[in-house]
Amino acid sequence: MTCLGLLNFALLTISSMIAVMEPFSTTAIYAALTKSMDSGKKSKIIRRSMTTSFLVLVVFAFTGHLIFRVFGITIPAFQIAGGILLISVAIEMLNPKQSEAASGREDIAIVPLAFPLTSGPGSITAVILLVSRAENLFETSIVPVGILVGVMLSYLAMTFSSGLFKRFGDDGLRVVTALMAIIVLAIAVQFIIDGAAGAVRQITSGA
């Protein structure tokens, strides 16, 4: 093991986690869903969602293959499930009454902020692959650090988003909410497409 090799793996891990978590997309969705909440509740949601995301990703990083094998779950099935879950979130965001009701719930910290946005199918797949790619204990120990960096970036982006989105005003926030709902729907459809494509590959390769 060389220092250069360890540095390369660290850079790969951190950049991969930031890319798959998409913290700024999650932040925009967070802002749309929490627009009518007070700052105390917003802070609680951020802490809860990011703590959950970190713990879920660390657990899956080291036990993901075993969990999927025990329950007979495939990555494509997981992607499709995440897509279906996101579709319900997008529909909720597009319906003003449902969206307002959702804004009063703290469980948005779990769905959709923790899963399937921050610790969704893409992030879970990434951490499992990164651990399997690690060649020694030092590289393996970098994976939780990469997860923490991605989670902290998401945490900071959401924490400082309130001031930015306040400038949009009520009409602006409604437009942002509608646009983010469409993006969430597109992400959901992409999850399902990727999952279906993966399932087809598994079926054909096993035939």
pLDDT, one tens digit for every residue, the chain (207 residues): 578 888 999 999 999 998 888 888 788 888 878 877 888 999 999 999 999 999 999 999 999 989 888 988 888 888 888 888 878 877 877 775 555 555 555 579 998 899 888 998 889 989 998 998 888 999 999 999 999 999 999 999 999 886 666 666 666 667 777 777 787 788 788 889 988 998 998 888 865
Report yes or no on 110 lying in a domain. yes
How far apart, in whole angstroms, are the C-alpha atoms of residue 80 and residue 76? 6
Return the closest-CA partner of residue 192 out of 123, 121, 124, 125.
121
Structural domain boundaries enclosing 154 = 39-202
Report yes or no on 184 lying in a domain. yes
Report yes or no on 20 lying in a domain. no
Report yes or no on 168 lying in a domain. yes
pTM: predicted TM-score of the whole model, two decimal places = 0.78
Report yes or no on 12 lying in a domain. no
Report yes or no on 73 lying in a domain. yes
Report yes or no on 14 lying in a domain. no
Render the burial of 5-16: b for 16+ CB within 10 Å, e for the rest.
eeeebbeebbeb
- Looking at the structure of the chain, the number of domains it has is 1
Report yes or no on 158 lying in a domain. yes
Sign of the Cα pseudo-torsion (29, 31, 36, 42, in order): positive
How far apart, in whole angstroms, are the C-alpha atoms of residue 77 and residue 96? 31
